[in-house]
Amino acid sequence: MNYFLTDEQQFIKEIAAKIAREKILPIRAGLDESGEFPWEIVKVLADSNLFGVYIEEKYGGTGGGVFDLCIAVEELSRVCGGISLCLAATALGTFPLILFGSDAQKLKYLPDIAAGKTIVAFALTEPNAGSDAGAIQTTARKDGDHYVLNGTKQWITNGGEAALYTVVAMTDKARGSRGASTFIVEKGMPGFEFGKKENKMGIRASATRELIFQDCRVPAANLLGKEGQGFIVAMKTFDASRPGVAAQAVGIAQGALDESISYARQREQFGKPIISFQGIQFMLADMATQVEAARALVYACARAIDAGDTKVAKESAMAKLFASDVAMKVTVDAVQILGGYGYMKEYPVEKMMRDAKITQIYEGTNQIQRTIIASHLVKEQAGKKS
């Protein structure tokens, strides 16, 4: 289908696909086994200017937006959903700065992010605060021209590898979610350490670690926005970043579909390729239709964000929900089509199935996405009656 990409967007798609094919494909299985962070791919992406596709030109980016980011993430994820996160998770950590940062903060940090010199992470989740973001326990106490952070963050993508962290902490616990604030924390600041690196089912080439703050002193100048805006920062960030997760899911699903078609054409049973059997054809047809529908929803949402639509929470949730559910279904079907071979690590679809699962969980579980969508439907209906 022609999605009417600009010349620049077509170039992003082609260069990301080339990197995925030539650089990521040869190392994906090894990094999946070892769990090593893909620093060599970070350098390749940096040299290709892909870290700056969603950042304004005046800060060193190429001036694109969420849609350009989704194109790149999708193509990289088509080969490896884990490796693609070095880019996608950096964008997640950068969106708070783009949306709420001061000019001084943007000038200080965005050029190195756009150049791929600085990897970023977003730190909201805690041991007892996942979907319930208002339950975070990490605190930030004002002390002169600094804030003192104490607490632990859990399951932070790019954790330990990133040089920069956007961290949500409570500046006033008595106010609940309205007492949260967001800070820019640099790796190496005294009192900021890392806990265990998680041993995950999927996306194993992506680092996931605990962040530990023990009297970590952060300059007051590193407060993003105002005190008490932390929950708003997080929600607006997710509105912008969820299409990126959805694009990752679309890419994983497309990669699984590609592998399924290729295998079905080569595998023979009963004297003919299994792609000639109607049962397999119907599975492939459903998989292809689901992937295309997910892609269309993701692209539409990303374009709306780039056009300046600020009321995209429902559509962003829809894109993440639908695309990740499609990724899970398509990868499971891919394993089924490959049969016993699909269950073996020699073939990539079992990895794609493992990678797909997290897209239904992080940046808000799909149960939370359905809650968001439903709440907006209720508000819209109430608005029509009033």
Stretch 198-204: mean pLDDT, rounded? 98
Say how far apart CA 246 and CA 238 lie, in whole Å.
12
Place of tokens 């992470």: 121
Q: Is 80 exceeded by the pLDDT of residue 235?
A: yes
CB atoms within 10 A of CB 150: 16
Phi-psi region of 83 (alpha: psi -120 to 50; beta: other; left: phi over 0): alpha
Joined tokens for residue 155:
């399951």
CB 245, CB 369: distance < 8 Å: no
Position 101 pLDDT exceeds 70 = yes
Supply 281's token pair: 């054809």
**Cα–Cα–Cα angle for 155, 161, 165, nearest 5°?**
65
The CATH superfamily holding the domain 231-380 is Butyryl-CoA Dehydrogenase, subunit A, domain 3 (1.20.140.10)
Name residue, tokens 């080339």.
18
For 282, how many CA atoms within 13 A lie in the half-sphere containing its CB?
Answer: 3
What average pLDDT does this structure show over 330-349?
A: 97
The Cα-based distances of 138 to 11, 106, 212, 280 in angstroms read 42, 25, 10, 51
Q: Is the pLDDT of residue 185 over 90?
A: yes
DSSP-assigned letter for residue 197: E
What does the pLDDT average to over 251-264? 98
pLDDT digit string, tens, across residues 1-29: 878 999 999 999 999 999 999 999 999 99
220 and 147 Cβ atoms separated by less than 8 Å: yes
Encode pLDDT of 44-71 as tens digits.
999 999 999 999 999 999 999 999 999 9
Domain 121-227: give its CATH superfamily: Butyryl-CoA Dehydrogenase, subunit A, domain 2 (2.40.110.10)
Topology (CATH) of 7-119:
Butyryl-Coa Dehydrogenase, subunit A; domain 1 (1.10.540)
- Catalytic option among 40, 74, 363, 380: 363
If you average pLDDT over residues 327-331, what whole number do you get? 98
Distance CA 322, CA 291 (A): 10
| Mean pLDDT, rounded, for 214-225 | 98
- Has residue 108 got a pLDDT over 90? yes
Q: What is the 3-state secondary structure (H, E, C) of 109-131?
A: HHHHHHCCCCCEEEECCECCECC
pLDDT at residue 386, as a whole number: 60
Give mean pLDDT, residues 113-123.
Answer: 98
Binned at pLDDT 50, 70 and 90, residue 214 comes out as: very high
Name the token pair of 274.
Answer: 């299994």
Q: Is 74 a catalytic residue?
A: no
What would the mean pLDDT of 192-215 be, rounded to a whole number? 98
The 3-state DSSP class for residue 171 equals coil
Cβ–Cβ < 8 Å for 80, 16? no
pLDDT of residue 280 exceeding 80: yes
Shortest CA distance to 338 belongs to which of 261, 252, 271? 261
Residue from 243, 245, 234, 249 nearest 129 by CA: 234
Q: Would you kindly state where each structural domain of the chain is located, as residue ranges?
A: 7-119, 121-227, 231-380
Q: Are 58 and 77 in contact, with CB atoms under 8 Å apart? A: no
Q: 0.95 cut: is pTM over it?
A: yes
- As a whole number of angstroms, the distance between CA 94 and CA 114 comes to 10
Q: What is the DSSP letter of 84?
A: T
pLDDT tens sequence across 78-98: 999 999 999 999 999 999 999
Tell me the pLDDT tens digit for each residue of 341-382: 999 999 999 999 999 999 999 999 999 999 999 999 999 988
